[in-house]
Amino acid sequence: MFSKSCEYAIKAVIHLCIETKDGSRLSIAEIAEAIDSPEPFTAKILQTLVRHDIISSAKGPGGGFYIDHHSKPVFVIEIIDVIDGKHAFERCGLGLKECNEKRPCPIHNEFASYSRKLKRLLETKTIQDLAKGIISGKAFLSNT
């Protein structure tokens, strides 16, 4: 449903939320390795997230990327909007360019219902909520 960029962005922000609680900062290489993403691709994603104030960065010695834990919570939908766009939940479930109420694909109605529910969920879930599940061991961010 989401682009690879969006999946990596969500994973990167969760990872930063967990790993920078103590005020530390992570390099692109550390983040890319943790989320199993190519470094140049990760760099572009992180820079986009910084430009949209989802994450922060600092240059120079001791620099890197981090989450400002004193700022407002980051809702998952904010990352999706920044990376995949505001219309991410309006796409066709089969990838058709023209799929709508007047000209639906075979799964249009069911998929539209599912998309609306998922969007509502992601409008209420924060990265901090997701990080808590990982910290507690009830959820995982990697395949290992």
111-129: per-residue pLDDT in tens?
A: 999 999 999 999 999 999 9
CB 65 within 8 A of CB 24: no
Query: Does the pLDDT of residue 31 top 70, yes or no?
Result: yes
**Cα–Cα distance measured from residue 72 to residue 68, given in angstroms and rounded to the nearest whole number:** 9
Q: Of 96, 78, 74, which Cα lies nearest the Cα of 6? A: 78
Query: What's residue 144's pLDDT?
Result: 62
Q: Where does the pLDDT of residue 34 fall: very low under 50, low under 70, confident under 90, or very high at 90 and above?
A: very high
Query: What's residue 35's pLDDT?
Result: 95
Tell whether domain 4-83+126-136 is in CATH 1.10.10.10: yes
What's CA 14's distance to the chain center, in Å?
8
Read off the pLDDT of each residue in 37-55 and give the average, rounded to a whole number: 97
Query: What's residue 61's pLDDT?
Result: 87
